[in-house]
């Protein structure tokens, strides 16, 4: 008897990895589902790849401004050309991914639906106008923007990182919420390529919570000195509103008192969250709360639902997503045959193209603090 597995989010890195692994297994039928266009997943369409393309343009201007060996007037960054080039690269990347999915769909044991999938119950999926009852489901739907909860936020215009990557013009000034990995990359781009006066709201005393303090302190000083960016540390947003001239006004709390900041634009780089809201999980026995997916990728509450990639909220990195997809596929096979499931444990790693890549931050493995938090035995 064959095992039928549905993969929701087949264009993403985790989804295609799971589907490819499953399709090579004997007596396994795979149904791939994805309503995305042009196909690719976050990293290809709105993340790692397009961001590095636009950052490189700003890096050239930064070099012209700081390298004493270069002479002449400071060049402007042609944002129209930057976005056009970025779009061409993204379409090429997406076409490659789409071709891989379509090639896989030609296999005899694979079907592909370009539709939206929803759970009707623990075992039944609605896929467009079709209903299927797979033996297992892999959720690989990626992540979506984590919109900040702030009084007045719904009444103002806020640009996300995806909006910045598509923008061909910026105002003279901007307020930035969020100074994590995305903010560390986008903020100097706004200052250099957009030639904006930027004010960053940082809740803590330094950026990069997971980094040792020396790294965060060094980057903070570099951003202030090299890019002339104002970073308000230990500061909290209170409320935000539009101004009469179309700008934005934000009230913040810092050093025990309330202050007001005004700028032309508001930017939100406040992280991402698993994109599982529209899957109908409320019709199942699983609850997508923190920790709902352990290292086996098998969701708590339903041993036939597996979650891989950004959708599980564990570690949002493309290569990790691919490996999690393979783990999910192998564990589905193990569960179907009554074998033990394996846990996926990777070496934690982060690479941030901070300072336009001029002063990048990279980390491999644990710090003392993260090792302690993970209950690992270690020698300090």
For 95-111, write each residue's pLDDT tens digit: 888 899 999 999 999 99
Which residues fall within 8 angstroms of residue 33, CB to CB, at 6 or more apart? 6, 7, 8, 9, 10, 112, 113, 115, 117, 125, 127
Tell me the per-residue pLDDT of 12-40, one tens digit each, with 9 for 90 and over.
999 999 999 999 999 999 999 998 766 77
Residue-wise over 199-233: b if at least 16 C-beta within 10 A, else e? bbbbeeebbbebbeeebbeebbebbeebbebebbb
- φ/ψ of 126, rounded to 5, equals -95, 120
3-145+273-346 is a CATH 3.50.50.60 domain: yes
CA distances (Å), origin 23, targets 14, 51, 91, 102, 104: 14, 33, 26, 13, 8
Tell me the per-residue pLDDT of 286-332, one tens digit each, with 9 for 90 and over.
999 999 999 999 999 999 999 999 999 998 888 899 999 999 999 99
CA dihedral angle for residue 252, residue 258, residue 259, residue 261, rounded to 10 degrees: 30
For residue 229, give both structure tokens.
């960016």
**For residues 278 and 376, which has the higher predicted lDDT (pLDDT)?**
278
**What does the pLDDT read at residue 310?**
94
pLDDT, average across residues 199-210: 92
The answer, yes or no, to whether residue 285 has pLDDT greater than 70, is yes
Q: What is the mean pLDDT of the chain?
A: 93
**CATH code linked to domain 153-270:** 3.50.50.60
Report the candidate in 360, 153, 373, 359 with the shortest Cα–Cα distance to residue 266. 153
The answer, yes or no, to whether residue 359 has pLDDT greater than 90, is no
**What does the pLDDT read at residue 377?**
81
**What does the pLDDT read at residue 38?**
67
Tell me the per-residue pLDDT of 75-97, one tens digit each, with 9 for 90 and over.
999 999 999 999 999 999 888 88
The answer, yes or no, to whether residue 283 has pLDDT greater than 80, is yes
Report the candidate in 102, 121, 103 with the shortest Cα–Cα distance to residue 113. 102
Characterize the bridge pairing of strands 143-145 and 272-274.
antiparallel
**For residues 356 and 152, which has the higher predicted lDDT (pLDDT)?**
152
pLDDT, average across residues 118-127: 97
CATH 3.50.50.60 in the chain is located at 3-145+273-346, 153-270
């Amino acid at each position: 008897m064959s095992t039928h597995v549905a993969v929701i989010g087949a264009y993403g890195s985790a989804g295609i990895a799971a589907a490819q692994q499953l399709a090579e297994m004997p007596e396994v039928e795979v149904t791939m589902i994805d309503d995305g266009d042009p196909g690719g997943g976050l990293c290809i369409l709105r993340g790692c790849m397009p961001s590095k393309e636009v950052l490189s343009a700003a890096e050239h201007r930064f070099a012209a401004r700081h390298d004493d060996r270069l002479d002449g007037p400071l060049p402007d960054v042609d944002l129209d050309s930057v976005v056009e080039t970025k779009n061409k690269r993204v379409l090429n990347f997406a076409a490659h991914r789409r071709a891989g999915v379509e090639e896989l769909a030609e296999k005899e044991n694979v079907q592909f639906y370009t539709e939206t999938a929803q759970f009707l119950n623990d075992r039944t999926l609605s896929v467009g106008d079709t209903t299927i009852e797979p033996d297992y489901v892999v959720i690989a739907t990626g992540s979506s923007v984590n919109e900040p909860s702030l009084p007045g936020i719904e009444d103002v215009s806020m640009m996300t990182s995806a909006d910045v990557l598509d923008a061909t013009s910026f105002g003279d000034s901007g307020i930035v919420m969020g100074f994590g990995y995305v903010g560390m990359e986008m903020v100097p781009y706004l200052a250099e390529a957009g030639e904006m006066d930027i004010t960053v709201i940082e809740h803590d005393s330094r950026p990069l919570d997971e980094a040792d303090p020396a790294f965060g302190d060094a980057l903070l000083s570099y951003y202030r000195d090299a890019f002339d960016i104002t970073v308000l540390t230990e500061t909290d947003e209170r409320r935000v509103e539009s101004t009469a001239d179309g700008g934005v006004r934000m009230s913040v709390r810092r050093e025990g008192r309330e202050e007001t900041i005004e700028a032309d634009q508001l930017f939100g780089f406040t992280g991402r969250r698993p994109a599982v809201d529209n899957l109908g999980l409320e019709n199942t026995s699983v609850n997508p709360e923190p920790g709902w997916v352990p290292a086996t990728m098998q969701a708590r509450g339903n041993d036939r639902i597996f979650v891989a990639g950004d959708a599980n909220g564990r570690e949002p990195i493309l290569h990790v997503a691919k490996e999690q997809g393979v783990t999910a596929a192998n564990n589905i096979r193990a569960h179907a045959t009554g074998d033990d499931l394996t846990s996926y444990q990777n070496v934690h790693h982060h690479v941030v193209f901070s300072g336009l890549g001029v002063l990048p931050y990279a980390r491999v493995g644990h710090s003392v603090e993260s090792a302690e938090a993970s209950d690992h035995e270690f020698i300090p």
